Amino acid sequence: MTEIAVLGLSHRSAPVELRERVAFQEGKLPTALSAVREELKLPECVILSTCNRVELYTLIPERDGHEAKLKGFLSRFHRLEPESLDSGFYWHLQPDSVRHLFRVAAGLDSMVVGESEILGQVRDAYTQAVSHGSVGAVFHRLFQTAIRAGKAVRSRTKIGEGAVSVSSVGVELARRIFRDLPSKTILVLGAGQIAKSTLACLKAQGTRKILVANRTQEAAVPLAESVGGQVVPFTDLSASVTQADIVICSTAADRYLLTRPQIQAIMSARRQRPLFLIDISVPRNLDPQIGQLENVYLYDIDDLEGISSSNLQMRLGEMEACSEIVEREMNGFLNRFNGS
């Protein structure tokens, strides 16, 4: 009998140093989805890869052996030593695998409990798997039900009230460090959804000088215009960083965009004026050694968790109602799946 399984790791189980090593760049997802089907002979697969989690949802023919096979696939695909994947992963089978997906889609397993971005990310992962032929009848129903459950949690409870996204947590951290945030020059690297959310948060804070740099300038122009910002060349980041007080990085680059030697030169040019950087990217796009420099303050995605925890208490009272919706949707799906 086939069974739904998930192998994954998240901000709860593994540090960003491990998550970034197994994260899937969007351009490589089609190859990865095909490899799971062809190498492991698994008929259905969806890969969810975000800044806070990497999860492989698969339909397996039997329980034994597939956890090791999927870890082996990850080590081969990402060219990692197998022993590097010995810790940090979780392996869920039914009904826990289904419950886990529904809780993820509802924002109940997020770093920022109740955040809404994850629902769109689950939908995007499902859509991409559909477009590459990795979804059949079971996962069509599974993910459509999970998305419906996520919507129901947000519409029928108050879990989203006062909730913040990863991007708004980053802006809150900047506000704490720079009390007069509107007067600061902020450089945003990237033009994806998190960059858009970050710019919206900055605009709400009254920030007046915003610079936007993106590998594709056509994507940066409307984004900058929406907040009254200015597009700057992606090919000359050093000049833009020299102007900035705050740099928020959310890109999908496969390398460090800024390294320690670059920042050393920039700090000399700006006469050691303090520089604050937030790297929301996974894999990280700012060299971690940058944070060792004097007057340079570097934070990554895991550093934001402490800030987001202060928003958790106000939403804990809604968790029971949210869990009831998840359990009801999960049981309905499993009853149909098991033919009862």
Quick check: is 51 catalytic?
yes
Active-site option among 51, 201, 249, 322: 51
Q: What is the DSSP string of 93-112?
A: ETTHHHHHHHHHHTTSSSSS
DSSP 58: E
Residue 297 pairs in a beta bridge with 276
Angle at 167 between CA 161 and CA 97, to 5 degrees: 70
Q: How far is Cα 86 from Cα 103, in angstroms, rounded to an integer?
A: 25
Q: How far is Cα 223 from Cα 205, in angstroms, rounded to an integer?
A: 17
Given the DSSP bridges, would you call strands 230-231 and 3-10 parallel, antiparallel or unpaired? unpaired
Nearest to 51 by CA among 201, 252, 311: 252
Instruction: Give the three-class secondary structure for 179.
Output: coil
Structure token pair of residue 263: 């920042």
Please report the sign of the dihedral spanned by the C-alpha atoms of residue 120, residue 124, residue 130, residue 131. positive
**Which residues participate in catalysis according to the annotation?**
51
